Structure 1
Amino acid sequence: MKLYIYATVILGTIIAAGCAKDLNQQPISNLTTQNFYVQPADFAQGLNAVYNSLRTYPDRILNLSETRSDNLYAVSDGGVRDWEGINSFHKTIASNPYVIEAWNTNFVGIYRANEFLLALQDRGGVITDEALRSRYEGEARFLRAFYYFDLVKIFGRVPVTEKAVSPDEARQLQRAEVSEVYGLILRDLQFAADNLPNTYAAADRGRATKFAAKGILALVYMMRSAPTYDIKGPGLGLNEYPQALTLLNEIISSGLYTFSASFPNIFSYTNENNSEVIFDVQYATGFNPVLGATFPWLLAPDTWFQSQGKPTQGGLMIRPVSNNLLNSFEATDTRKGFSIQSGYVFNGVAETRSFVKKYIDVSKTPANRVDWPINFIALRYTDILLLKAECILRGAPGTPAEVDGIVNQVRNRAGLTPISGVTLDRLFEERRKEFVGEGSRWYDLIRQGKIDQLIPTWITAEDVQGQMLSFNKNYIIYPVPQPELDAAPGLYPQNDGY
C-alpha cells in the first residue's frame, strides 16, 4: 500500500512542506529547528522536507532546458508569454519568473539540507542506529548536490555554503567559481554513493539510492568534461569520461535495473517505480494540501484538453515542437506518436502545429490542474546506457561494437532498423528523440560541444516568424536573477551578455 507524507518545518523565512509519494510521515506543528530535532522521528520528517524542493524540478527543466532548445519553436501567437524570452534568447530575462524560481527554489532546498545536516551533527545522537544516521546524511547530501548541480548548469557560478546562513550572511556570500561548486557536489555525491542503500522497502520508495548517487555523479563528470565555450558555465573541458564510465558500469552490473521492452510502459501511470527508474520526483493525488504534479500539461495547450472533453489545465497557448525535430524522426519511429501530438481540432478549427504530450494520459486528467498523479523520472536506465556509449565515443574503454549495440537496442524498441558506425553526432540525435519532453536537450547540446554552431543554424532555418534574437555563447547559461542583484547591489556581477 502506498503511503503519503506532508510536513511543515519553519525557521525564519524558510517554510518546508514535504510532498513525496511513498515516504511515510505524519504532520507536525510549526517549530523552529532549534527545538524540533529531539527524537529520531523528527529527523525522518525533517529530511522529507528537504525532498520537497524537488517538486518544481520537472517544470523547471521543461521551461529552461526543453523550451530553450531546438526541440521547441515556442514563439507565442497570443500575447507575450514568460517562456518566449527563454525560447527566443532575449537578453532582458533577469526578471523572468522561471529564472527567479530556479535560483530561489534550489537555494531553499540547499538551506533545508544544510539545516538538517547541522541538526544531524549536533543532535543526531538520538538516532542510535549508526547506519540509519549515515543514510540520512547521505540522502541530505545527495539532495544538496542535486540542487547545486541544477544551479551550476543554469547559472554557472553561484554562492557556495555548507551551512544555513542568515539573510545578513547571505548578502556577504560571493559567487564561487564553477570548480568550487563542483567540488562540493563531488564530495556530497561520493558520500551518498558510499552510504546510501541499493534499494528501499516499499514504504520508503522514492528516496535517493546508492545508484541514483552514482548516476548523477557520472553525469556531473560528463558535464564537467564539456567544453568551456570560453564562458564561466558548467563545462570545464576536463576528460573525466573514464570516471563516469566506471560509475555507469557499476549501475549496469548491479542487476537492479532493466531495459524496458515497451517505451510507453516506462511512463505509464500504472507502472510507476518500474525497473527503468533510477531516480524520480514523486507525486500523489487527492490530498489536502495538494501533492500532485503540474509538469504533464506544461507544454500542451488548453484547447487540446477541451477538445478531449477535459477541463483546462493551464497551458494557455501552444509551445509547438520545432519542424527540425519533427523531421528528424524516421517514418517507423513509434516514439514520435507517443511523445508528440500532431495536431487536433477544437470548435471546428484545426490546429496543425504539434506539441509534447509524453507524460499525459488523458484518461487520468484531474479536476485540479495542479494535482496530476504521475511521477517524473529524473534519471532512467536507458539514459545510463546511452551515457555509457557517449563515454566510449569520447575515448573511455570500450568498442564501437558496444556503442552500436546500445544504440540499436534503443532503436529496436522504437521500431527502427539497426545502424552501424555510430558517431557522437548520431548518438546525440538518437538521444534527442528518446528523451524529448524530459528536459535534457539543452544540457545534451552543451555536452555535445556544438551548441554554439547548432543553435544559430537552427534559428536561421526555423524562425519563420522572425521573432528570435541572435544566439551567442553567453546564452548557454542564464542571468543572475534581478532580485538577487537588487538585494545586495555590487555583490554579484551579472553574467556576460545580459
Structure 2
Amino acid sequence: MKRNILYIFLFASLLETACQKDYLSKQPTDAYNNDNLWSSPAGVAAALNGCYNGWEGDYNLLYMDAVSDNSYSQWYWDNYQHLGNGTASAADPNVQNRWDYKTIQKCNWFMENVDRVSMDTKLKTRYKAEARFLRAYQYFTMSQLYGDVPLVLKTLSTQEAAVVTRTPRAEVRKYVLDELAAIAPDLEVSYSGTDVGRITQGAALSLKARVELYDKKYADCIADCKKVMGLGYTLYPKYQDLFRIANENNSEVILDVQYKANDLPNGDIGIMPSSGFGGWASLSPTQSLVDAYEMKNGKTIDDPASGYDENNPYNNRDPRLSATVVYPGQLYEGKYYNSIEAGKDDYYNGNNNSPTAYIEKKFTSHLSDFPDMWNTGLNMIVIRYAEVLLTYAEAQIESGVIDNTVYDALDAIRKRAGMPVVDRAVYNSQDKLRTLVRRERRVELALEGLRWYDVQRWEIGPTVRAGVVYGSRLGTVDAATGKLTLTGDHVKVETRTFNAGRDYLWPVPQKERDLNKALSQNAGY
C-alpha cells in the first residue's frame, strides 16, 4: 500500500511471504532475526522473497487503464478516477500514490547484506540479479509516472531521506537500462518446480525493450526484442483462454505477479463484474475502446466497406472484443447481459453496475473458475510475448525499416486472435503501419495496464482523453435469445479535461513534500 521515501521498513517486512505461488515462505516470520538472517542461504532466500512481496500488484495493473481512454473508474475512493478525468491535485487524498520506495528500500538492504553470507556463487549472483530487477522495475514505473524521482541505491537514515532531491528522469532511465543489461546474463531463461515465477532473463530483456521503445531508442529496442524472440516464448493458442487461472505460467507469459488463494490472494476479481454477477463494476470499458476493434474482415468500423451496422454493433467484430468486454446481449455466465434496459439487475445506472453498460471480461471470462472471486489465485501478467512482438514491430516501423518481419510479427498476433493477416496493399507505408500497430497495441493489450503509457509517450492525450466519455446505446435485450434492439443514444459517463502541459505526469504527492521540503513539484500542480 502507500509508502514514502521516509519509510524505514521493519526487518520483518523482508520476511513477509513472497508473491510467488510456489515458493511461499514456509517458516513463521519470527524464525529469523537480524543476527542470524545473513548466516545461511535459507536466510538469503527469505530476504529475497521479502523483496518480491508487493513489487507490483493486481490493483494497480487493473486500474491503470482507467487513467486512459480505455476504462472509467466510477468510485473516486479507488483513487484513479481523478487521474483519469484531469481533476487530480497533489493534495487530493483520492489520487493513487505510486511514489513508493518500500520495494526499493528492501532491495537496497538486501544488496548491502547478501555478501555477508557464504553460499553458492552462481546462486548468489542470480539472487542479486533478481533483487536488482525488482528495484529497476520500481524506478521504471515511478519515472514513467512522475518524471524526475530520487534515485536512491542505499539505505537512508531518516535525516538523509528528509533532504533527498529528485534525480533527472534521463539519469534514472539510464540507470534502469544499465541495470537490466547487466543482470540479464545472470538470470535463468526459465525455472521449474518451486522457482516458477521468479525473474527470468526474458523478463529483464523485455522490460529493457519496453523502456527503450518508450524512450525512442529504437535500435537497442529491436536488438533486445530479437534476443527475447530467441528464448522460446510462443503465443498461447487461444486468446480468450490466455488469462484463465487454469492456464497460468503458459508459454506466452514472460513476467507476472503470482498469487495463491487464502495465503496471498488476488482479491480484486470481484471489482469487475456488475451486481447481477455479485461484483462491484468498479472499472467500466468505454465506447472508445469498443469502437477500436476492427470488423472480423480486418476493416475498421468507420470504413464504409466494413459491413459495420450501428444497430448491431457487436456482430462480426474482432474476436478479441468479446473476449475482453462483456457488451449488451452477450451470453455471459449463463445469461444474456442486459445493462441497457431499465429494471434489469445490471442496468447501467443501478448500484454496483457499469456506468458505461460494459464490464470487463478479460480476467473473468469464466467466473466459475473462482469459488470465491474475492479470494483467488489468479496471477496478473505484467509482460507477455505479444507485447514483445508489438514492441518489435513498432520499433521497426518508427525506424523506417519495414520488412517482412514487421508483418510477420503483426500477423502472428492477429491470426492467433482469429483475424486476417495485415493487408499489405493497404498498410504499405510508415504512417499507415504506425496507425495499425497503435491500434493493435490498444486492442491486444486492453485492460492490462499499459494503455496510459502509450497515450503518454505518443502525446495523444488532448485527442483521446479530453471530452465526453460515452458508453453503450440503450435499448432492450431478449432474455431468451440475446437479440439486441438499440433505440436510444449512447450514455454519457463524464466529461474529461486534459492539460498537455501538466497531465502527462502525475503530481508528486503533497504529503511527500511535507515530509521532505527538498522535493520539487511537477509543472501545473
TM-score class, shorter: 0.7 to 0.9
Q: CA separation in 2, counterparts of 1:85 and 1:434?
A: 26
| Counterpart position of 1:497 | 524
Contact 1:296 1:358 in 2 (8 A): no
Equivalenced residue count is 450
Which of 344, 349, 354 is equivalent to 1:348?
344
Structure 1 position 37, deviation (Å)? 1.3
Aligned partner letter, 1:408: D
Separation (CA, whole Å) in 1 of partners of 2:16 and 2:370: 28
- The aligned amino acid for 2:240 is P
Residue of structure 2 equivalent to 1:111: 105
**C-alpha distance 410-43 of structure 1, shift in aligned 2 (>3 A):** same
Q: Does 1:480 align with 2:480?
A: no
AA paired with 1:71?
A: N
- 3-state SS, counterpart of residue 132 of structure 1: helix
1:104-129 C-alpha deviation (Å, 9 max, x unpaired): 3xx100000011111113x03x11x1
Q: Show the 5 A alignment for 1:142-153.
A: 142-153=133-144
Corresponding residue SS for 1:279: strand
Separation in 1, partners of 2:23, 2:250: 17
Kindly indicate whether the alpha-carbon contact (under 8 Å) linking 2:323 and 2:361 is maintained by their aligned counterparts in 1.
yes
Closer, same or farther: CA 33–366 of 1 in aligned 2, 3 Å: farther
Structure number, greater radius of gyration? 2
Give the helix-richer structure, 1 or 2: 1
Closer, same or farther: CA 33–164 of 1 in aligned 2, 3 Å: farther
Q: 1:405 aligns with which of 404, 408, 414?
A: 408
Distance 1:450 1:372 in 2: 36
How far apart, in 1, do the equivalents of 2:148 and 2:172 lie?
Answer: 7
Please report how far the alpha carbon of residue 34 of structure 1 lies from its aligned counterpart in structure 2 after TM superposition: 5.4
Q: Aligned equivalents of 2:16 and 2:136: distance in 1?
A: 18
Question: 1:258 corresponds to which letter in structure 2?
Answer: T
| Residues 32 and 181 (structure 1), Cα distance of their counterparts in 2 relative to 1, 3 Å cut | farther
| 1:384 Cα deviation from its structure 2 partner | 0.8
Distance in structure 1 (CA, Å) of the matches to 2:102 and 2:72: 32
CA 1:377 to 1:466, structure 2 compared with 1: closer, same or farther past 3 Å?
closer
Q: Deviations over 1:468-496 (max 9, x none)?
A: 234334211111112201212x3112211
Within 5 Å, give how 1:328-407 maps onto structure 2.
328-329=292-293, 330=295, 331-343=316-328, 344-345=337-338, 348-351=344-347, 353-360=357-364, 361-367=366-372, 369=374, 371-395=375-399, 398-407=401-410
Question: Any idea what the Cα deviations from partners look like across 1:132-188, whole Å, max 9, x if unmatched?
Answer: 111011001011101111111111111111112122221121111101211321222
Alpha-carbon distance between aligned partners in 2 of 1:364 and 1:433, rounded to the nearest angstrom: 24
Indicate which of 200, 209, 212 corresponds to 2:203: 212
Residue 187 (structure 2) aligned to one of 185, 196, 211: 196
Aligned equivalents of 2:190, 2:276: Cα separation in 1: 40
Identity %, equivalent residues: 26
Match of 1:247 among 224, 240, 253: 224
Alpha-carbon distance change, 494 to 246 in structure 1, aligned in 2, over 3 angstroms: same
Maintained 8 Å contact 1:296/1:359: yes
The letter of the residue matching 2:262 is G
In structure 2, relative to structure 1, the CA distance for the partners of 1:337 and 1:368 (3 Å cut) is closer
Question: Counterpart in 2 of 1:266?
Answer: 242
Q: 1:19 to 1:81 in 2, by over 3 A?
A: closer
Question: Match of 1:230?
Answer: none
**Whole-angstrom distance in 2 between the partners of 1:293 and 1:406:** 32
Q: Tell me the amino acid that sits aligned with residue 411 of structure 1.
A: R
Residue 320 of structure 1 aligns with which residue? 284
Q: Give the conservation status (yes or no) of the 8 Å contact 1:452–1:473.
A: no
Contact 2:69 2:286 in 1 (8 A): yes
Q: CA deviation at 1:12?
A: 8.6
Work out the CA distance in 2 between the residues paired with 1:211 and 1:182: 19
Distance 2:464 2:403 in 1: 25
Structure 1 pair 463–348 and aligned structure 2 pair: CA distance change class (3 A): closer
CA contact (8 A) 1:296 1:357 kept: no
State the Cα distance separating 1:55 from its structure 2 match.
Answer: 4.8
Give the whole-Å Cα distance in 2 for the aligned partners of 1:463 and 1:241.
Answer: 41
Secondary structure of the residue that 1:278 maps to in structure 2?
strand
Q: Partners of 1:55 and 1:408 in 2: how far apart?
A: 31
Cα distance in 1 between the residues matched to 2:95 and 2:180: 27
Give the 3 Å change call, closer, same or farther, for CA 43–281 of structure 1 in structure 2: same
Deviations 1:171-212 (A, max 9, x none): 121111101211321222122202111112221000001111
One-letter identity of the residue aligned with 1:263:
Y
Q: Distance in 2 between matches of 1:496 and 1:399?
A: 38
Q: Give runs of aligned pairs for residues 85-104 of structure 1, distance below 5 A.
A: 85-92=82-89, 94-96=91-93, 99-100=96-97, 102-104=98-100
Matched, 1:23 2:28: no
Query: Comparing 210-219 with 451-460, which one deviates more in the overlay?
Result: 451-460
Give me the whole-angstrom Cα distance separating, in 2, the residues matched to 1:466 and 1:286: 37
Structure 1 contact 24–204 (Cα < 8 Å) conserved: no
**1:3-24 deviations in Å (ceiling 9; x for gaps):** xxxxxx9339887442311225
Alpha-carbon distance between aligned partners in 1 of 2:346 and 2:434, rounded to the nearest angstrom: 39
CA deviation after TM superposition for structure 1 residue 35, in Å: 4.6
Q: State whether residues 17 and 50 of structure 2, in contact with CA within 8 Å, keep that contact through their aligned partners in structure 1.
A: yes
Between 1:432-441 and 1:405-414, the stretch displaced more is: 405-414
> RMSD of aligned C-alpha atoms?
2.6
Aligned-residue offset at 1:354: 0.3
* Structure 2 residue 43 is matched with structure 1 residue 42: yes
Distance 1:366 1:169, change over 3 A: farther
Give the whole-Å Cα distance in 2 for the aligned partners of 1:305 and 1:349.
9
1:281 Cα deviation from its structure 2 partner: 0.6
Contact 1:425–1:448 (8 Å) recurs in 2: no
Q: Deviations over 1:281-329 (max 9, x none)?
A: 1011133xxx01134334443x0423xxxxx5xx3x5432211111222
Shift of 1:341: 1.1
Q: Judging changes above 3 Å, is the alpha-carbon distance between structure 1 residues 465 and 435 closer, same or farther for their aligned structure 2 residues?
A: closer
CA deviations on 1:367-423 (whole Å, 9 max, x unpaired) are 371x21111111111111111100100117x43432222222222222222322251
Query: Partners of 1:119 and 1:85 in 2: how far apart?
Result: 41
Q: Distance in 1 between matches of 2:507 and 2:16?
A: 26
Post-superposition Cα deviations, 1:20-39, rounded to whole Å, max 9, x if no partner, equal: 11225322444554552111
Q: Work out the CA distance in 2 between the residues paired with 1:252 and 1:494.
A: 40
Task: Tell me the TM-score normalized by structure 2.
Answer: 0.79
Aligned to 2:146: 155
Does the 8 Å CA contact 2:466/2:496 hold for their aligned counterparts?
A: no
- Whether the 8 Å contact between 2:164 and 2:519 is mirrored in structure 1 is no
How far is 1:350 from its partner? 4.6
The TM-score, its normalising length taken from structure 1, stands at 0.83
Q: How do residues 418-457 of structure 1 correspond to structure 2 at under 5 angstroms?
A: 418=421, 419-420=423-424, 421=427, 422-456=432-466
Aligned mates of 1:160, 1:205 — CA distance in 2: 30
Asked whether the equivalents of residues 155 and 477 of structure 1 are also in contact (C-alpha less than 8 Å), the reply is yes
Output the CA distance in 1 between the equivalents of 2:244 and 2:78.
Answer: 31
